[in-house]
Amino acid sequence: MLRIAVTGSPGVGKSTVVAKVAKKLAGQPGFKIGGIQTAEIREEGQREGFSILDLATGKTGTLSHIKGSGPRLGKYHVNPETLERIGAGALRNALSCDFIVIDEIGPMELISGSFVAAVEEVLESDKPVLAVLHHSSRHPLARKVRKEFEVLTVNVKNRDELPEKIYNCFASQPL
């Protein structure tokens, strides 16, 4: 089963690549996409945190924010309750979908044991997966993904052509 992870420098466009592939795959009638997508929360042009979206249900929540109370990672407070309810919940539901997106597997998400367990379940499934992999995470799960997935590095030169390339890889497989 095809598993692709995109990695690269912060802000280079990893989430955008994955979102473009997911959008194109979602355009196929009857094709169910599950998993999570993250997006920046911006206030007056400044990044204040990240939101998390369950791709199958449309449920969304605040994954992290500069004004939070959860465990701190850099300048953001991570919200473990949202990670568990929306993040891990979306991945468990995604096991009944045709295609699974995990944006992202990185230090913020791996704070939650239940999110880690949900990613492990996805890895053990027979579903095609497209993930964003944090460039330097040393977490055992990140190492596993680095070893088992085809890992593509996004840069400013290839970020416009990668979505089509990745889409074609998945489209040429029996999904």
Ligand X SMILES: Nc1ncnc2c1ncn2[C@@H]1O[C@H](COP(=O)(O)OP(=O)(O)OP(=O)(O)O)[C@@H](O)[C@H]1O
Binding flag, residue 152, ligand X (CB under 6 A): no
In this structure, what token pair is assigned to residue 119?
């990613």
Q: Which stretch binds ligand X (CB under 6 A): 13-21, 28-36, 62-70, 165-173?
A: 13-21
From the number of C-beta atoms within 10 Å of its C-beta (0-12, 13-18, 19+), residue 156 rates as exposed
Interatomic CA distance for residues 144 and 123, integer angstroms: 9
Binding flag, residue 146, ligand X (CB under 6 A): no
Q: How far is the CB of 29 from ligand X (least distance, A)?
A: 27
Binding flag, residue 13, ligand X (CB under 6 A): yes
Residue linked to tokens 């379940």: 121
Among 7, 15, 93, 137, binds ligand X (CB under 6 A): 15
User: What are the φ and ψ backbone dihedral angles of 66, each rounded to 5 degrees?
Assistant: -65, -25
Binding flag, residue 52, ligand X (CB under 6 A): no
Q: Write out the residues near ligand X by the rule CB under 6 A.
A: 10-16, 159-160
